[in-house]
Chain A
Amino acid sequence: NAGVTQTPKFQVLKTGQSMTLQCAQDMNHNSMYWYRQDPGMGLRLIYYSASEGTTDKGEVPNGYNVSRLNKREFSLRLESAAPSQTSVYFCASSERLAGAADTQYFGPGTRLTVL
Chain B
Amino acid sequence: AQSVSQHNHHVILSEAASLELGCNYSYGGTVNLFWYVQYPGQHLQLLLKYFSGDPLVKGIKGFEAEFIKSKFSFNLRKPSVQWSDTAEYFCAVSTDKLIFGTGTRLQVFP
- Tell me the A residues contacting B by CB distance below 8 Å: 4, 33, 35, 40-45, 48, 58-59, 90, 92, 97-101, 103-104, 106-109
Q: Which of B45, B51, B94, B103 sits near A106, CB closer than 8 Å?
A: B45
Among residues 5 to 59 in chain B, which have CB atoms less than 8 Å away from a CB atom of chain A?
6, 9, 32, 34, 36, 42-46, 49, 51-52
Alpha-carbon gap, A56 to B43, bound state (A): 24
Q: Is the CB of A42 within 8 A of B95?
A: no
Check B98 for interface membership: any CB of A closer than 8 A: yes
B97 within 8 A of A: yes
Known contacts A101-B51, A103-B46, A107-B43: A45-B94 contact under CB 8 Å: no
Number of interface residues of B (CB under 8 A): 24
* Additional 8 contacts, C-beta under 8 A, given A45-B97, A90-B44, A98-B98: A35-B100, A42-B100, A97-B96, A98-B95, A99-B94, A99-B97, A106-B44, A108-B43
Q: Which 7 A-B pairs have the closest CB atoms?
A: A101-B51, A98-B98, A42-B102, A42-B100, A106-B44, A43-B100, A101-B32
User: Do A99 and B102 have beta carbons less than 8 Å apart?
Assistant: no
**Residues 60-110 (chain B) with a chain A CB within 8 angstroms:** 90, 94-98, 100-103
Q: Is the CB of B43 within 8 A of A106?
A: yes
Tell me the bound Cα distance from A32 to B32 in angstroms: 18
Given A41-B102, A42-B101, A43-B100, residue A100 in contact with residue B94 (CB < 8 A): yes
Task: Report the minimum CB–CB distance from B69 to chain A (whole Å).
Answer: 16
Chain B residue numbers with a CB within 8 Å of A90 are 43-44
Per the bound structure, the CA–CA distance linking A42 and B4 in Å amounts to 10
